Amino acid sequence: MGKHVLLIEDEPNIIEAIRFLLSRDGWQVDTHSDGTTALEKVMEKRPDIVILDVMLPGRSGFDILRDIRADADLAALPVLMLTAKGQVKDRELAERLGASRFMAKPFSNTEVLETVRALAGG
């Protein structure tokens, strides 16, 4: 597995923090902020891992995750869900839809880095 992450997030501070953290660790990080076109971006970029926010403009991360899991070419793609809402129901929905991991904001840099490395099998 390579080291290419697609971060689908609309909060500029989180985008910059994750991009900096992962780039420093040797990852190529592409970002996208619109839920409406997120699935197309996943298909275009073919990342090794997707980090997907739940609350996005246009479509929710849950809808995007559902589409990723329904696509035979993308079904096995590791997806880390991020949410500002750490409620149990959100976590349960993410698990039912096939999220590889789930992380509530705020999160620590160490937690993000360790999770991405684990999803990459490293």
Domain ranges of the chain: 1-33, 62-106
How much of the chain, in percent, has pLDDT values that exceed 70?
98
3-state secondary structure of 89: helix
Whether residue 106 is preceded by a cis peptide bond, meaning omega within 30 degrees of 0, is yes
pLDDT score recorded for residue 87:
84
**Short-list 69, 41, 53, CA closest to 8:** 53
* Residue range 15-33: mean pLDDT, rounded: 97
pLDDT score recorded for residue 36:
98
Answer yes or no: is pLDDT of 50 > 70. yes
Q: pLDDT, tens digit, for every residue of 64-120?
A: 999 999 999 999 999 999 988 778 899 999 999 999 999 998 999 999 999 999 999
What is the phi-psi region of residue 46: left when phi exceeds 0, alpha when psi lies from -120 to 50, beta otherwise?
left
Give the pLDDT band of residue 13 (cuts 50, 70, 90).
very high
Answer yes or no: is pLDDT of 1 > 60. no
Whole-structure pTM over 0.85, yes or no? yes
